[in-house]
Amino acid sequence: MRLTQKADSDCLTPVKADKSLRHGGKRRIKMDRIEFETTICSVCGSAACARWLSDLRDRAFSRPETFTLVRCENCGHIYQNPRPTEASLRFCYPPDYGPHHAMRDGVAARLRRWVLQREAVACAARTPPQSHLLEVGCATGDFLEIARARGFTVAGVESDEQAAGRARSSGLEIFTGVLKEAGFHASSFDIVYMKHVIEHLPDVRGTLSEIHRILKPGGWLFVATCNICAPLTRCFGKDTFDLEMPRHLNIYSAASLKRQLDGSGFRVVTVCHDPVPNSWIHSCRLHLEGHSWARAFFRLENPLALFMFSPLSVTLAALGLSSRIQVWCRRHE
Ligand SMILES: [Zn+2]
């Protein structure tokens, strides 16, 4: 592993001036309301990195800042650097952030509910009856309600107060905050479910370490995230929906996610490629930004858009090239 140490003054200006961004330590730069800090690769710990994509914008909420993704020169992992400080992340999730709201009616909501039910069945197939299940980043608790109906004893952790409150109103036990503050007993869960959360975490290693502590030996961890190595990224570049700047701090491939989990005491059992067409539909909308017809057509609520991209999504998933991956792994005994 190569660690390149340079003066802090080199941390940001080279983003524009040089192809390589190398740094060590932390430095904070104020840009409007978001404060940035430089960071290191969460997968291997290396500070050596090169600019991969720059001048990325917040396509969902039109924040004024631009964002940069770098590629680790040691392991190839893609991550945001510099990135918003942990304190600034709250500015990145405004009240109308979609995942913090409950499922609505319509085709997309029914499809999502079916997917969550399928995943609850998969959780049940891997664990004894009446197992204890924790969801990290449970939002409004849609999955937890489904898992509870399947016989699991469930608990959730959610950092957004409003989303946590909505989940709690359904009678769910929810801790508001981050996992390491929840103080769960060691070895208290049979399975931890974490869907499209790992890419948002400012402290991936710390969170995985805490999951390892609270899982029973041999317990299961389910992780779903985006796949940067999918053809979607090559097709759309900066318009790729899954980049989701600035909320995605780490963007994994199957290989980098496996390495991240291996390094935290988990044994990867299965890597699945999800056949959902969501990323294709959203990326088309971003690519055709400015065309009102595209905004109206490329929506998950449009059955025609779902139908149009489903064969492609199913084919890519069968070939192991989906933009969404799911990993089932176990805590070492
Ligand atoms: Zn690395």
Is residue 6 predicted with pLDDT exceeding 80? no
Query: How many angstroms separate the alpha carbon of residue 159 from the centre of ligand 1?
Result: 27
Query: How many angstroms separate the alpha carbon of residue 144 from the centre of ligand 1?
Result: 33
Query: How many angstroms separate the alpha carbon of residue 311 from the centre of ligand 1?
Result: 34
User: Domain ranges in the chain?
Assistant: 8-92, 98-331
Question: What confidence tens digit (pLDDT) does each residue in 123-161 have?
Answer: 999 999 999 999 999 999 999 999 999 999 999 999 999
Is residue 23 predicted with pLDDT exceeding 60? no
**Bridge partners for 212 per DSSP:** none
- From the number of C-beta atoms within 10 Å of its C-beta (0-12, 13-18, 19+), residue 7 rates as exposed
Can you spell out the DSSP letters for 113-147? HHHHHHHHHHHHHHS-TT-EEEEES-TT-HHHHHH
Query: How many angstroms separate the alpha carbon of residue 71 from the centre of ligand 1?
Result: 8
Query: How many angstroms separate the alpha carbon of residue 195 from the centre of ligand 1?
Result: 22
Query: How many angstroms separate the alpha carbon of residue 138 from the centre of ligand 1?
Result: 28
Question: What confidence tens digit (pLDDT) does each residue in 295-324 have?
Answer: 889 988 888 998 999 999 999 999 999 999
Encoding tokens for residue 217? 């030996």
Query: How many angstroms separate the alpha carbon of residue 260 from the centre of ligand 1?
Result: 9
Query: How many angstroms separate the alpha carbon of residue 129 from the centre of ligand 1?
Result: 39
Average pLDDT over residues 249-276: 96
Query: How many angstroms separate the alpha carbon of residue 1 from the centre of ligand 1?
Result: 9
Give the end-to-end CA distance of the chain in Å, rounded to a whole number.
29
C-alpha 47/C-alpha 41 separation (Å) is 6
Give percent of the chain above pLDDT 90. 74
Q: What is the mean pLDDT of the chain?
A: 88
Query: How many angstroms separate the alpha carbon of residue 73 from the centre of ligand 1?
Result: 7
Query: How many angstroms separate the alpha carbon of residue 42 from the centre of ligand 1?
Result: 7
**53 touches 79 (CB < 8 A):** no
Question: What confidence tens digit (pLDDT) does each residue in 221-253 have?
Answer: 999 999 999 999 999 999 999 999 999 999 999
Query: How many angstroms separate the alpha carbon of residue 11 from the centre of ligand 1?
Result: 17
Give percent of the chain above pLDDT 70. 90
Tell me the pLDDT band of 27, cut-offs 50, 70 and 90: low
**Closest listed residue to residue 62, CA positions, set 39, 107, 92, 106:** 92
| Domain range 98-331, CATH architecture | 3-Layer(aba) Sandwich (3.40)
C-alpha 50/C-alpha 168 separation (Å) is 43
